[in-house]
Chains A and B, each alone.
Chain A
Amino acid sequence: MTQTLKRLPVYLVLLVGAALSIIPFLWMVIASTHTTAALFATPLPLLPGGELWKNLARLQQETNFSQVMLNSLVVAVIYTAFSCVVSAMCGYGLAKFRFRGRGLVLGAVLLTMMIPMQVLLVPLFQMMASLGWVNSYQALILPFLANAFGIFLMRQAFLDFPDSLIESARIDGAGELKTFYRIVMPVARPQLAALMIYTFISQWNSFIWPLLMLNTEDKYTLPVALNTMIGLSRVDYSGLMLGSLLATLPLLLVFIIFQKQFVSGLMGGAVKG
């Protein structure tokens, strides 16, 4: 009994923490279902209202939101697929082959992790402008395909893979690529899954670069579209909250389905800041 009493403050602290974590979420959901006027009225709406469909229709009409979501999804999926292939290949090359310049490549990979990407903004912007790639998706995807963190993660994953297995695959007549994706790759599946989630999220969240690159509404990704909504003369706040909710839902879904990989992906991602 006394023990239960002693533990009560712990539960209290955790309940307060949980409430603070969840309230902005709840507010986002509630706000999406009311009119903008209701969001700032007294008393505050504490339960979901009946404006969800109207808000959704307006959001779709004013910002073509389904297109924006599709854009974000397409960019993130393509980026994830290519970036992970590049990372896995490079990681494998660094882990399992001896060649001249290997140390240099590895050192360069580690060094790039320490350099903030913002230093690249001006020259990359100029490069994209001279290539005529402004407002294109290759401008969003290509410059960040080679991901130092991903390469490093995959290298670590392949490092312990027994050479003898690779050797026997070769003896069996498998080519280098086949050996790689049939024999070696499956072993690194957990790391690859974590990396895929990390890459997907980083692209989904990416803001400053798409903000610089995209300049027509039909190309906008979610963060850019949401940002333009607050620049309007009359801000549709409930639509904005619904848009924020819709931007968060896919990540929430990924989190619920792939909890373990999600967490390890995010934690690995911490290396890059």
Chain B
Amino acid sequence: MTSTLLRPSRRPSANAGGRAGARSTARRRRPGYWFVLPAVGLFAIFFLYPLLSSLWQSFFSTTGGESTWVGGAQYLRLFHDPLVAKSLFNVGLILVIQVPLMVCTALGLAYLLNQSWLRFRTGFRAMHFLPAVTTLVAYSLVFRVMLATDGGAVNQLLAMVGMSPVDWLNSEAWSRVALIASITWRWTGYNMVIILAGLQGIPAELYEAARIDGAGRWAIFTKIVIPQLRPVILFSSITSTIGALQLFDENFILTGGGPNNATLTPVLYLYKVGFQQFDFGYASAIAWLLVAIIAVVSVVQFAIMKEKK
């Protein structure tokens, strides 16, 4: 049956366009289904069904192996749970500090690396991009070893310049610094390349016109480069925001969410509730909180993009 549907009649037909085109379009309906079917089937089984199942389960309490309908109780629990608040606060800190820091650094680097007079441009670009090539778990491990309190490479370097060792991974404040530093190391070069692509899309005439008008380097940067790069910067910021909201690998490896939950993120909390406490109902509610937050971010992104157009 498959083969006959995949091979429709081989009657020659006129080229597309006009009424003949309409007829050939009609004839082309079935193969379209067959091409789309594998993906749609997989989506239905492994995406749509689990998605609805998760929503359904978020209205149940599953502790003790039995599930009982509890209405919106799991969602109410979110609001009273200090760990939810703390994980959101931690991600909020990253959003407020790390994302702008990284996007600005990436922007600056991209601008410098786009200068035509720069020597070893390719080499510099490759070196700055290198961190983006590392496996997430692997680089987190390297940072964990380098940031060890006793004899870790970073503390030894600090000792060389006469500073006392920092308890990177065991103090609330420093563990956040460590996490932010690690993520920034991994993703700055990546964002730099995205912004670089945007920079290369700015027409050269714009620079020339500005130069003829007597604009200085700073004026060119703020009045031409930044406005032209707006969509790219926005894209970078939004993807970094969504990435931070979904943070798991790095803090799981670096600190396991500690100390005192200072690096707990919503996804890590979801993991702990769902797969260490096996409280599936509450884990589902946390998941849907995340869905809601990311939906808001996506809608904001859409709105800003539209406004621009």
Whether A associates with B in a native complex is: yes
Give A residues with C-beta under 8 Å from B: 7, 10, 13-14, 17-18, 20-22, 24-25, 27-28, 31, 39-44, 86-87, 89-90, 92-94, 96-100, 102, 105, 108, 112, 114-116, 118-127, 142-146, 151, 163-164, 167-168, 170-171, 173, 175-177, 180, 204-205, 207-208, 212, 222-223, 226-227, 230, 237, 240-241, 243-245, 247-248, 251-252, 255, 262-263, 266-267, 270-271, 273
**Complex: how many Å from CA A243 to CA B135?**
11
- Is there contact, CB below 8 Å, between A122 and B284? yes
Complex A-B: 28 CB contacts under 8 Å: A14-B128, A17-B127, A20-B185, A27-B145, A41-B151, A86-B38, A89-B36, A89-B39, A97-B32, A98-B32, A99-B33, A116-B245, A116-B287, A119-B287, A120-B47, A121-B271, A122-B284, A123-B49, A123-B51, A125-B275, A151-B39, A167-B16, A176-B7, A176-B31, A180-B35, A241-B145, A248-B139, A273-B243
Residues on A with C-beta less than 8 A from B288 are 119
**Complex: how many Å from CA A10 to CA B115?**
10
Residues on A with C-beta less than 8 A from B117 are 7
Question: Which residue of the partner chain, among B53, B137, B243, contacts A226 with CB atoms under 8 Å?
Answer: B137
Give B residues with C-beta under 8 Å from A: 6-8, 10, 12-13, 15-16, 24-25, 28-36, 38-40, 42-43, 46-47, 49-51, 53-54, 57, 109, 112-113, 115, 117-118, 124, 127-139, 141-146, 148, 150-153, 156-157, 159, 185, 189-190, 193-194, 197, 235, 239, 242-243, 245-246, 248-249, 252-253, 267, 270-271, 274-275, 280, 283-284, 287-288, 290-291, 294-295, 298
- Is there contact, CB below 8 Å, between B135 and A93? no
**Complex: how many Å from CA A86 to CA B36?**
8
Residues on A with C-beta less than 8 A from B53 are 123, 126
| Across the A-B interface, the 6 shortest Cβ-Cβ residue pairs | A97-B32, A93-B35, A40-B151, A90-B39, A244-B138, A123-B50
- Is there contact, CB below 8 Å, between B135 and A222? yes
**Complex: how many Å from CA A20 to CA B275?**
37
**Complex: how many Å from CA A259 to CA B94?**
30
**Complex: how many Å from CA A175 to CA B109?**
51
Question: Which residue of the partner chain, among A105, A108, A267, contacts B193 with CB atoms under 8 Å?
Answer: A267
Closest to B156 in A: A44
Closest to A41 in B: B151
Known: A7-B117, A93-B32, A119-B291. 10 other contacts (CB 8 A): A42-B159, A44-B156, A99-B29, A115-B291, A125-B274, A126-B53, A164-B15, A167-B24, A176-B34, A208-B248
- Is there contact, CB below 8 Å, between A271 and B35? no
B interface majority secondary structure: helix
